[in-house]
Amino acid sequence: MDDEGMTHTNPLTRYAGVLAGLPAGPRLMLTAFLALIGFGYLIAVANIFSHHANADGNDGLSIDDLRAVYSGMDVPAGAGAEVPSRMLTMLRGEMRQYASSEAHFTVLEGWLAKGAPEAGLEQGEGKITPRRVLILDCMRCHALSTGTEIAKQAPFGPDEFTPDSAMLVRFTAPAKSKSPGVVRAAPQYTLPRLILISHQHMLAIPMFTLAVAIVFMLSRVPARWKNALTPLPMIILVFDFSGWWLARVAEPFVYVIAAAGGLFSAVLGFQIIAAAVDLWRGPPRGGPGMLGGGAGGATS
Ligand code: HEC
């Protein structure tokens, strides 16, 4: 082979075959690891869909959902137009999980979209009124009497049975508008929330990205491919995390977030599958001694 000389100098070539040369025990462990990361990542993606798909008020995940979460959105103002408020944004995002039924969600969402008129608190579908939904689904965390951290920060009433209009209005009032004709809905992630989510994700995701990359480097995928693909996921993460922050100041960065998400999944998926296949593809060519790329290499 031409790159016989490289065999000893380029670790990407030199250690190719390490995986397949391992005894069955460690290979099983690595396979289980790759499977867990793969499925764990799929579940995380499903979670993104269920948490953010409705952020812009429409079903399905779109670039507008990313806008609503990370950068905020311009919405038309005026008669008949939806009134964006902090509570509407949160209900479509992170608080959606607490709406105990689709009907509860719809009633509260409809009331908020109309600008949360005080009289409307009692008007809903049959027995389900916005007031009831607040009491049944929200007040156990958002009533002052519960003493929770979030109740102090975002109280909806004095106790669990009394939604208070004066308190609610802080969250149901439309966003302040800068230019006529549009209102700007603030990003769903507040700054403290973004800081929390950033540090949680930044400490965890690069760790498994690194682990998968190392296993991938030890596979027999051609060195040129490994050279190109090994660094990609980690570099994409830099763009992804930066995008979360930059989208707050410049909306087009939501496209960076979207592209980063798709690319990261694709390359990570490839690394996982390639490594898993290599683990069970049989012993490396040239016999079991693998570090030198062949039995002869190690002893000469
Ligand atoms: C299990 C407790 C819990 C329940 C139930 C709950 N929330 Fe929340 N809510 C929270 C927490 C915690 C936060 C802070 C999240 C954050 O910082 O992003 C929050 C934040 C909010 C905010 C933003 C407050 C702010 O300061 O900007 C709104 C609005 C909100 N919730 C509305 C609702 C609505 C509407 C419901 C009922 C459908 C609901 N919540 C049910 C715990 C709860």
Ligand 1 contact via 87 beta carbon (within 6 Å): yes
Q: Whose CA is nearest to atom 37 of ligand 1?
A: 138
Q: Whose CA is nearest to atom 1 of ligand 1?
A: 141
Ligand 1 contact via 33 beta carbon (within 6 Å): no
Q: Whose CA is nearest to atom 39 of ligand 1?
A: 138
Q: Buried b vs exposed e over 189-206: b needs ≥16 C-beta within 10 Å?
A: beeeebeeeeeeeeeebb
pLDDT of residue 210: 98
Determine the residue of 142, 168, 169 to mutate for testing ligand 1's pocket, defined as the one with the most ligand atoms within 8 A of the Cβ atom: 142
Q: Whose CA is nearest to atom 21 of ligand 1?
A: 90
Ligand 1 contact via 160 beta carbon (within 6 Å): no
Q: What is the pLDDT of residues 146-201, one digit of tens each?
A: 999 999 999 999 999 999 989 998 899 876 666 677 777 888 888 888 999 999 99
Ligand 1 contact via 141 beta carbon (within 6 Å): yes
pTM for the model: 0.74
d(C-alpha 235, C-alpha 233), whole Å = 5
Ligand 1 contact via 148 beta carbon (within 6 Å): no
Determine the residue of 138, 160, 188, 195 to mutate for testing ligand 1's pocket, defined as the one with the most ligand atoms within 8 A of the Cβ atom: 138
For the chain, residues with pLDDT lower than 70 are: 1-8, 78-80, 175-179, 285-300
Q: Whose CA is nearest to atom 29 of ligand 1?
A: 87
d(C-alpha 14, C-alpha 6), whole Å = 8
d(C-alpha 225, C-alpha 138), whole Å = 52
Nearest alpha carbon to residue 190 among 112, 46, 298, 89: 89
Ligand 1 contact via 91 beta carbon (within 6 Å): yes
Ligand 1 contact via 137 beta carbon (within 6 Å): yes
Query: How many Å lie between the centroid of ligand 1 and the Cα of residue 105?
Result: 14
> Strand pairing partners for 157?
143
Find the angle CA(98)-CA(87)-CA(193) to the nearest 5 degrees. 80
pLDDT of residue 298: 36
d(C-alpha 230, C-alpha 225), whole Å = 8
Phi-psi domain of 88 (left: phi exceeds 0; alpha: psi -120 through 50; beta: other): alpha
pLDDT of residue 259: 96
d(C-alpha 79, C-alpha 64), whole Å = 22
Spacing of C-alpha 61 from chain mean position: 12
pLDDT of residue 44: 93
Query: How many Å lie between the centroid of ligand 1 and the Cα of residue 156?
Result: 10
Helix 24-52 and helix 253-279: axis angle, to 10°? 160
